[in-house]
Structures are given as structure tokens and as C-alpha cells.
Chain A
Amino acid sequence: MSRLLLFALLLSGLAPAATADSQLSGYLAGEWRGFLQSPLDDVQHGDNSSLSMQVEYYRDWEDGKQSFIFTPFLRIDGHDQQRSHFDIRELNWTTVGDDWELTVGVGKVFWGVTESQHLVDIINQTDLIESTDGEEKLGQPLVRLGLVRDWGSLDLFILPGFRERTFPSRNARLRSAVPVDVSNSEYEDSRGRDHIDAAIRWFNTFGDWDVGLSHFSGTSREPDFRAALDGAGRAVLIPVYKTIDQTGLDVQATKGDWLWKLELISRSGQGDRFTAATGGFEYTLYGIFESSADLGLIAEYLYDDRGDAASTPFADDLFLGARLAMNDEASSELLAGTIVDLQNQSRVFSIEASRRFGDNWKLNLEGRFFSNIDENDALASFRNDDFLQLELAWYF
């Protein structure tokens, strides 16, 4: 990984200063999270505040044919030592030819179409302590060669250097009943985190249809767990990273006001081969109540053929959501949703709202509420962790 970084840094130095175009931007944010119940475990903290910062330095030259990006991220958390962390989200150099592009360094890649979960997306590790929804990702060392042809785009990846998933500390909320010990992770492959992973993805657009087909071979981003005792004799979970093969399909059909979406994966190497899928629609009503506001209605079914043995809490679940976009000067938005487990009726409600103040400030409100959680459900350890979170961010 360090060699890759060095390479990217060296290349950035090649930019001829006179013709280069550079941009510096980012944000500084203060977050406050209030919990509505007392924790299940006395060592877990109460309300929490933290600060985060992300800076992006971008520079391109040769008419944008070559570019360099560096995006460091830092969080300082009031209680959770694990959540106080630094990460290089991006540090890479990209060069673009007529029908190819090459990226070398640390990067971030997103695959997929659905809203409730992202099954197909596998290049980057989830930065789980950042956000429980799994949308925040750690920077991944990569070499990406993209080929653009008449039959679609083909991306080839070599992924040297594995990133371990982040987990909350023992004293933090929104953690498993038995905390995860991230300092003693185990790997199925003897090369451990030095195993070099590879991935390939083809995608194309056929009229109203956007289709992606992908395959990943390497260390699973999602660990299994082994129960153990830590140095102090306390029960912990040790992450065990298996070597897997995963094939993924993502399809979206855009038909008028309807978006039809499907993500499907088949994975081997982590227990028996299994299949998981997310599918559904997003339907948008424009200019509701004679206003300029749009209302999007989302329904997705989440399936995993491992059932209760699934490594995610969503094996036979239904997601229902509504997204309200005011289309006003402040870009006010509201997303409310619920995921219901169709087997045991456990429910998670979530709400996300945001609006801008002036040109540089943004206020984000987020809430998660765990309701009627079955004691055997994968979310059981979160049942006393309903929270409301306010974040005020200043962008520059």
C-alpha cells in the first residue's frame, strides 16, 4: 500500500504547475447524538458528540487527461476510541486515453442501484463506526484499468492491501452484545491482509436499461466471527475474514416515473454458496400539492437464502420509504423509511433530513429507532440504542 501511495505522490509531482488546474474543498462538521434509552451494558456511553473533517485536494492537467486527488478524513469522537480515526479516502492518479482509463492509488468505487442495502458493492470496506447504514467506506488501494468499447465498459481491478472493517469500542453504543476485538483479526488465507484481490465489472446502457455484471475474488469485506476472551479475560468476538468469490448483477429499468431495480449476488467461500437479492421500485410524484416538491416512494424486498443464518440482519425483509425533495433554495430533503423483518416483525425506522443555510452551512438530522426487536434477531443488541443525531457542517 505504501508503495502505491508513493507512486501516486510521485506522479502528482509531475503536473506542470503552469497548466494545472487545482481545487481545494471540504467540510468541518460537529455531530451530536442523543440516545433515547439507557444502554443494555453499563459500560456503554450516553449522549455523544464528535467532530469530523474531510479535505479534498484535486488537480488536473493536460486538459483533464491526467488528474490527481487526495482526500484525507479525520474524526475525533467524544467517547469511542475506535470512532476517533483517520483515513485516506482517496489518494490516486488517473490518466485517460481515447478508449481506456487507468487509476492507481487509493480510491473509492461504488457499484449498484438499490437504496436499502448495497449487496453488489464490494470494492471498498465499510467504515461501520462512521454510520450504521454502511454507506461510509474506507479508502481501498487499487489499480483500475477501465476499457470503453462499443459493447460497454469493462473495469479491471487489482486490489493490493486489505482494509479491515471498523467496529465500535466496548464502551460505545450501536455495537454487538459481545464487542468486536479488532486488534486480533484472523484470515483464512495465510497471506492475511497482504492477499491481493481482483475484480472485474462490465456495465452498459441499453435504452431504458442500465446493466452491470461483476465478479470479485479475494478477501470477504464482511467478516465471520469467533467467540474468544481478550487479554483481560472478557468475552470478545474475533473477526475472521474468509476468502470468497462473489458474482453480482445489478439492473435498473427507468420507465417514466418508475425506476425498477434489482441487485443479485452469489457468494462462495463463506459457508455454503448462497444467494442474496434486493429488488423493488422507486416511483416519483412530481410537484405534489401544486408545489415544486417531489415525493419518491420506495419499496424493496431484501432476501438472503441463508435465512436466519445470514450474516446481515436482512434475510426476508421489506423496506418501505418515502423521499421528499422540496426543490427549494435550501435543497431541503427528507427521507423516512422502515425495514420490517417479515419472519419476526422486528422493525427499524429511520429518518434523514437536511437543509442548507446560506451558501456554506448544512444541517443534517438523522434518527434510527429499533422497534419490536425479536430477542433472536441480529439487531437485538441495538434494541436500546434508538438515537437522534444532529450534524452541522461547514463547507469550504
Chain B
Amino acid sequence: MRLVNIFLLLILPGLLFAETPEQKGLAIAVEVDRRDTGFGDLKANLTMLLKNRHGEESTRHIRLRTLEVEGDGDKSISIFDRPRDVKGTAFLSFTHKTGTDDQWLYLPALKRVKRIASRNKSGSFMGSEFAYEDITSQEVEKYTYKYLRNEACGELECIVTERYPEDKNSGYTRQVAYYDTQEYRPQKIVYYDRKNTLLKTLTYKSYRQYIDKYWRADEMFMKNHQTGKTTLLTWKDYKFRNGFTSRDFDRNSLKRAR
């Protein structure tokens, strides 16, 4: 009896912690997702500042509304205010945990709603350094994972994991993601292109907590190491729990979006 107990005492901790790096990576992704679950809906204003190698700048203004969908990816509407010539253009997207997303574009000059192909994950969003796959909702199922290490990141400690896109249309072979150990917030993501060459780095700055639970960064800075171009996203006026319903995210509401 005693021997059995001693045996159990010896191997149990080992069993509990004998997590492979893949299991640990997945567990971290699940925890990141869990901490951001239940936000319901949100709206926010976004400014994108695009800069090329020569320092030439251009800006885009976008308003964003998102509805959390239980058991599936989020629904969202983006409304473009600037540049002026695309004002009123709106983009509706239903992300899915697996398979392709559904996307519709509203063209205000023709009053036309156009269903668009959504396989284009790696394409640039509005000429910025963000690809569509960088800005759509980050479902756990969209990647496989591997825990790498813990390391200091600024004043915080970060968990460093690697993730590999499941979608063969992704523009990346892998991404190295840094989450702080305190709140499991993304602090940095390093992207490697299809040839596994360093492509870009995204850094999150100035986190703020909303409705006592959900963390959002005021700034997200993407630098493309291959072209020297950068995009700075500045988020303002975050508002959670607006009482949105799926009715606010259909083709009718896309036409009315302002």
C-alpha cells in the first residue's frame, strides 16, 4: 500500500506536467481565447497611418462593429470614412472557426452589395501592412501551436509560442507570438512568409481594460522588414455591450451602415 502511494506521489506530478510543447502551446491559446470570451459586442474607431520607405504618409479612418457569436467566429462590419473617395464603403464578414469566411462588400456609388471571395487571406487590407488574416477574429482552431519558452518582454514576462496556420491560403509558414504571463495579452507577433523568411513584426502598445475584464491595445504597430513600410493602427472610443444583434450584421444593415 505504502509503496503504491509513494509510487503515485512520484509519478503524478510528472504525468501532470508531461505536457508536450504542442499541448502547452494549445493550452495557452485556449486560455488567451477564454479570457476574451463573453465580451458580447463592441464598437470602436480606427485610424490607420500608412508610411512607406520614403516617409510618405496616408491615413484611413474606419469604424468597426463586432458581434461575438457563440460556437463560431465573430461577425463584423467595417465602415470606411477616409480616404474620402471610398467613404461609405462597408465590409461585412462572418468568420468561421473552420472553413472559409463569408464576406460582402457594399459599394455606395452603385448601392451594390457584392459577395466577395474570402480565400484571399494574405492580401493587404486597404493597402496597409495588415493582411486580412491579421485583422479577422483569431479563432483557436485556425492554427496549431508549439510552446517555445518564457522570456522577459519589457517590464513583463512573456510566454513565447509558435503557431502554424491551418489554412493553406495563409501567407505565413509560422508566427511567433508573445503573451504576457499576467493577463495573457498579445504583446508582439513576428510573421514569417511562405519561404519562412522574416516578414513583419506587430507590436501592441498601451493596453486598457474595458468593463473590468477585456484588454484592448490603443496602438498596434506593424513593420514590414522586407519593404520597410509600416502601418500604425490607433484605436479610439472602444465601447462594449451595445446590445447589437445578428440583425445589425446582415446585408440590409450593410447597406445602411454609416
Is B250 a contact of A148 with CB atoms below 8 Å?
Answer: yes
Using a Cβ–Cβ cut-off of 8 Å, how many residues does chain B contribute to the interface with A?
A: 36
Q: Which of A53-108 contact B (CB under 8 A)?
A: 58, 60, 64, 67, 94, 96, 98-99, 101, 108
Could you say which residues of chain A place their CB within 8 Å of the CB of B112? 110, 112
A256 touches B117 (CB 8 A): yes
Chain A positions within 8 Å of B, measured between CB atoms, are 21, 23, 25, 27, 58, 60, 64, 67, 94, 96, 98-99, 101, 108-110, 112-113, 135, 146, 148, 153, 203, 205, 210, 252, 254, 256-259, 284, 286-287, 292, 294, 327-331, 356, 358-360, 362, 393, 395-396
Structural contact, A359 and B122, CB atoms closer than 8 A: no
Q: In the assembly, what is the distance between CA of A358 and CA of B50, in Å?
A: 12
Q: Which of B59, B87, B122 has the most CB of A within 10 A?
A: B87
A-binding residues in B (CB < 8 A): 50, 52, 56, 58-59, 82-88, 100, 102, 110-120, 122-124, 127, 171, 247, 250-252, 256, 258
Distance (Å) between the CB of B247 and the closest chain A CB? Answer: 7
A23-B258, A67-B256, A94-B256 are known contacts. Are A287 and B123 too (CB-CB below 8 A)? yes
Could you jot down 17 A-B contacts, CB within 8 Å? A23-B258, A98-B247, A101-B252, A101-B256, A112-B112, A113-B114, A148-B252, A153-B250, A254-B102, A254-B117, A257-B117, A286-B123, A327-B123, A329-B58, A330-B127, A331-B85, A331-B127
The reply to whether B117 and A109 contact each other, CB–CB distance below 8 Å, is: no
Q: Is the CB of A327 within 8 A of B258?
A: no
CA–CA, A98 to B248, complex, Å? 9
Chain A residue with Cβ nearest B56: A329
Chain B residues near A328 (CB-CB < 8 A)? 127
- Given the interface pairs A210-B115, A286-B120, the reply to whether A27 lies near B85 with Cβ below 8 Å is yes
Neighbouring B residues of A256 by C-beta, 8 Å: 100, 117, 119
Residue among A99, A108, A153, A356 making CB contact with B251, cutoff 8 Å: A153
Beta-carbon nearest neighbor of B94 in chain A: A205
**Distance (whole angstroms) from the CB of A159 to the closest CB of chain B:** 16
Which residues of B have CB within 8 Å of A23? Answer: 258
Instruction: Known A210-B115, A328-B127; judge A284-B85 contact (CB<8 A).
Output: no
**B119 CB to nearest chain A CB (Å):** 5
With A and B bound together, what is the CA distance between A327 and B131 in angstroms? 11
Please give, as numbers and ranges, the residues of chain B lying within 8 Å of A98 by CB-CB distance.
247
Contacts A64-B258, A101-B252, A359-B58 known; A292 to B100 CB distance under 8 Å?
A: no
Distance of A130 from chain B, by nearest CB (Å): 12
- Which residues on A sit within 8 Å (CB–CB) of B117? 254, 256-259, 284
B87 touching A60, Cβ below 8 Å? no
The answer to whether residues A360 and B111 also contact, given A101-B252, A284-B117 and a CB cut-off of 8 A, is: no
Q: Are B247 and A329 in contact (CB under 8 A)?
A: no
Smallest beta-carbon distance B22→chain A, Å = 29
Instruction: Let me know if A331 and B251 touch, CB within 8 A.
Output: no
> What 5 A-B pairs are tightest by C-beta distance, nearest first?
A395-B84, A110-B112, A327-B124, A110-B111, A329-B127
Query: Taking the nearest CB of chain B, how far is it from the CB of A208, in angstroms?
Result: 8
CA distance A23 to B256 in the complex (A): 14
